[in-house]
A = this chain, B = another copy of it.
Amino acid sequence: MGFLTNIWGFLQRAWTIAVHEPKKLMHCLKVGLALSLVSLFYYMRPLYQGVGGNAMWAVMTVVVVSEYTVGATLSKSVNRATGTFLAGALAVGVHWVATQSGEKLEPIILQASVFLLAAAATFSRFIPSIKARFDYGAMIFILTFSLVSVSGYRVQKLFKLAHDRLSTIAIGTSICILISMLVCPVWAGTELHNLIKNNMEKLSDSLDGTMCSRIFRNDVKSNNTKSEASNKILQAYKCTLNSKATEESLANFARWEPAHGGFNFGHPWKEYLKVGASLRSCAYCVEALNGSSICSDAKVPDFLKAHFSKFCRRLSASSSAVMKELAVAIRDSVIDIGEGNASSAVVTLAEMVPLVTVTSLLIEIAARTEKIAEA
């Protein structure tokens, strides 16, 4: 019974995802389509003769390279192609050296080169700047190099193998890139833009009024029915706290994408990261405030509470309004010039963060002044 309930819950969750994010459903169909297309190469005889028995490399490429966003697909394709090409060229070179140096030395040279290059490429994956952009390429480099140099000992037709692998990878990646760009494309740039915009809106919702109500908790006790919904709004900012990794990978992928929508190639994606960082530091303040409100139901005289509550509400409402305007500015920046607006938004936001902090602290002080007086 418990097992069945588990499965049922699992299916329900899957259904929720499918209904709420049709883009993801579409992505699955795209992967299926790409795989069907590439397996046609296997079924059609003339094509099959062309690329030889290595057509399975094309299948493998499609499975590995298909990613959710266009940028990720492009980045993986470029990584895969470059890694394969470099490693293939190097492996052929090493193989040539090895065959020249006699039958006894040959396996030793091959083994040593595999060991050294694999260790070096693995090490390069630990360096942050390489890890961010060429992690996959380094792995493919190790893979291709060891495959080619190991099988070169047997197959004798090294050039043919290298050529086959390159051409099948070309087939696989071009199918994937075409499908991901032409059928309902999901652009990493647009996703990043929306993520930042939504985070900003949620943060401003959390700031707006609701926060004050929570801190001056007594005020809301009268309308307890609302508190469920308002609590949800209040928690909305939490997604901003941990979005750093997502933002960085999206910005990384967005760099690979060609012009789309209102974004040009070379759109200043890094500016978005700065806006994201400002938003996060603002969310930290909200989080600190929210956590501290636990201890704030101390004995504060009512007249003081009422006085400060009015004041704070005005403050947080106005900072929320500023943030909403910024969100609108960001939304519109696509239609406008993009760069100029995004930068100015960053500047404005950087100026705004201290303001919000002050607001938060003022709210706190209102709740605590009495305590100090007692001390």
Contact = CB atoms under 8 A, between A and B. Distances in A.
A358 B56 contact: no
Contacts of A29: 119
Copies of this chain: 2
A208 to B, nearest CB: 19
B25 A123 contact: yes
Contacts of A354: 291-292, 294-295
A36 B115 CA distance: 6
Nearest to A31: B122
B292 A123 contact: no
A364 B107 CA distance: 70
Contact of A35 (B43, B118, B126, B295): B118
Given A295-B357, A364-B365, 19 more contacts: A17-B123, A21-B126, A24-B126, A28-B119, A28-B120, A31-B142, A32-B115, A35-B142, A36-B111, A42-B153, A48-B154, A56-B150, A59-B147, A63-B139, A281-B287, A284-B287, A285-B288, A295-B358, A365-B368
Interface of A: 10, 13-14, 17-18, 21, 24-25, 27-29, 31-33, 35-36, 39, 42-43, 48, 56, 59-60, 63-64, 66, 107, 110-111, 114-116, 118-120, 122-124, 126-127, 129, 139, 142-143, 146-147, 150-151, 153-154, 241-242, 244-245, 281, 284-285, 287-289, 291-292, 294-295, 353-354, 357-358, 360-361, 364-365, 368-369, 372
29 contacts: A10-B127, A24-B126, A28-B119, A28-B122, A28-B123, A31-B122, A32-B115, A32-B122, A36-B114, A39-B150, A43-B107, A43-B111, A56-B150, A56-B151, A59-B146, A59-B150, A63-B142, A66-B122, A242-B245, A285-B288, A287-B288, A288-B288, A294-B354, A295-B354, A295-B358, A361-B364, A361-B368, A364-B365, A365-B369
